[in-house]
């Protein structure tokens, strides 16, 4: 993701992508970043609620801000987080739920969530610049190669 962002300019980062419901690369990037930020706050003792995103406009409009946030997240994830129980709060169809989860389960969820949004970003990037063929694995689920070997 950092490699991709380093290849984009601010205009492409903020341009609505018709093929991806007019969202932007920046909005998808912000969304990904905020999920990790919420997870890391929960790791430090707070409850985890992905619905409580701040929707920081700077992350979706500034590649530099996004890269700074990504670097902070990567540094924290590289600190060998201990697997432990977390409390997940969510609201489904207006009904609030409190669920037990774990660090390892949420990391798996974040990986899958990120892959999903990277696939949307990849569609958008290829429509902004059809010649863009870097990062062919962007948005491809980690399990996809395993399907070919089944």
46 pLDDT more than 70: yes
Q: Indicate if the alpha-carbon torsion angle 105, 107, 110, 112 is positive or negative.
A: negative
Return the closest-CA partner of residue 123 out of 18, 13, 31: 18
3-state secondary structure of 83: coil
pLDDT of residue 143: 64
Give, in words, the CATH class of 2-141: mainly alpha
Indicate the pTM of the whole model. 0.88
Q: Give the Cα separation of 145 and 20 in Å (integer).
A: 25
pLDDT of residue 150: 43
Return the closest-CA partner of residue 129 out of 13, 6, 33: 13
**Range scoring the smallest mean pLDDT among 40-54, 62-76, 128-142:** 128-142
């Amino acid at each position: 993701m950092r490699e991709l962002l380093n290849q984009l300019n601010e205009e492409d980062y903020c341009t609505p992508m018709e093929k991806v419901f007019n969202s932007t690369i920046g909005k998808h990037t912000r969304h990904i970043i905020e999920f990790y930020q919420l997870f890391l706050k929960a790791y430090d003792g707070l409850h985890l609620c992905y619905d409580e995103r701040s929707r920081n406009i700077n992350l979706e409009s500034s590649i530099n801000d996004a890269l700074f946030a990504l670097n902070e997240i990567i540094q924290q994830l590289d600190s060998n987080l201990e697997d432990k129980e977390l409390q997940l709060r969510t609201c489904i169809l207006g009904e609030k739920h409190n669920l037990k989860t774990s660090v390892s389960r949420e990391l798996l969820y974040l990986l899958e969530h990120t892959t999903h949004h990277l696939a949307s970003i990849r569609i958008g990037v290829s429509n902004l610049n059809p010649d863009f063929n870097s990062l062919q694995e962007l948005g491809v689920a980690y399990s996809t190669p395993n399907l070919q070997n089944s």
